[in-house]
Structure 1
Amino acid sequence: MPSSVIRSYSYSAKKSELTITFVSGRRYVYADVPQDVFDAFRAATSKGSFFNSEIRDCYSCFQLSS
Structure 2
Amino acid sequence: MNRTPVSSSNISSIGYDPSTSTLEVAFNSGGVYQYYNVPSNEYSALMNASSHGSYLAHHIKGRYQYRQI
Query: Is this a same-fold pair by TM over 0.5?
Result: yes
Alignment pair present for 1:46 and 2:51: yes
Which amino acid is 1:38 matched to? Y
Q: How many residues align?
A: 64
Q: Structure 2: where are the runs of 5+ without partners?
A: 1-5
Greater RCO, CA 8 A, separation 6+? 1
Indicate the residue corresponding to 1:13 in structure 2.
18
Deviation at 1:19, TM superposition (A): 0.4
SS of match in other structure, 1:33: coil
Structure 1 residue runs of 4+, over 2 Å off? none
Indicate the residue corresponding to 2:9 in structure 1.
4
Q: Structure 1: where are the runs of 5+ without partners?
A: none
Deviation at 1:28, TM superposition (A): 0.4
Distance 1:55 1:22 in 2: 15
Deviation at 1:5, TM superposition (A): 0.6
User: Alignment identity in percent?
Assistant: 34
